[in-house]
Structure 1
Amino acid sequence: MSEAARAGESDGGGRGVTGDAATDEVLAEVGPRLRRIRKERGATLAGLSEATGISVSTLSRLESGLRKPSLELLLPIARAHQVPLDELVGAPPVGDPRVRAEPIVRHGRTYWPLTRQPGGLQAYKVLEPKRTTEPDPRTHEGYEWLYVLSGRLRVVLGEH
């Protein structure tokens, strides 16, 4: 692999090796962020070079955007500044990893899918609103398991 590919530099087509414009945009913001964090901590390029083992010229090129960041370069810098890697790259926030899909609202209930595979057993977190009227009876083939985490739930099965 060439040094340009390892460093994530342009492939000659005007786009980064990643080929993803959004990724290229995030990477372009890393250099100014590195410079800001270094200056906020009162560190010099020479001092950071000593702490990380990365040459002053490489650090300068990273900060000016002339060199694309790589994990091999960012990890020692994050360690030296004692900041999470996410802070250096400006990673976008992620949602709750336990609930991956958007909620679904049907018949006054809100459902959060907890499984992603179609078919087979499905798990949902369900918010059942308080009702003052009797709901319309519904039937379906199969089984349901319910765990009431708070409140009360009345289940009617046939005449029971």
Structure 2
Amino acid sequence: MTQESDVDALIRQRIRSLRLARGWSLENLASRCELSQSTLSRLETGHRRIALDQLVPIARAFGTTLDALVETADDQDVVIRPQPGHSQGLTTWVLSTGDGLNGKTVAKMRITPDRPHQLGVHPGRDWFTVLAGIARLELGERTILVHPGEVAEFSTMVPHAICAHEGPVEILSIFNHDGERAHLHDAPHAAG
């Protein structure tokens, strides 16, 4: 199969899948995009060449963009191969792409006891879960131990630090833009 026919097949499959997912018949889709049932049937089955002037109203009928309807499949949008970023006592793997999760960043962090202890403050809320070890959350005047499987969520306007307690700890954290700048700026990272 050529690359062009692969793309055509993918577009045809998307059109049919979107139509069926909505429970629409060919007649329903035809009335929504002002194309004939027979044209849509031939498009879906590969008996008619795909044309841009047909795809625009089809995308509009599904409430999506032309780009989303025709984008090619690529492993880069599915699999992230994180590279570790290192700073003293901290290894960070960024697990999300910049355009995913509505501006949130997901990171796996390995914190060791030799990480410099410094309380920080930034706008928003932080969230993390402990994968292995025990995290020591310094939150204002309080110290809270967070064990594997437990989750901590807190206001980041309170001075805070996440530390290792009696050995290394691995956490999975979700940050907003301010949290990413505050917690990941020291550790160079790559998402690809």
State the TM-score, normalizing by the size of structure 2: 0.36
State the TM-score, normalizing by the size of structure 1: 0.43
Quick one: higher RCO (CA 8 Å, sep 6+), 1 or 2? Answer: 2
Structure showing greater Rg:
1
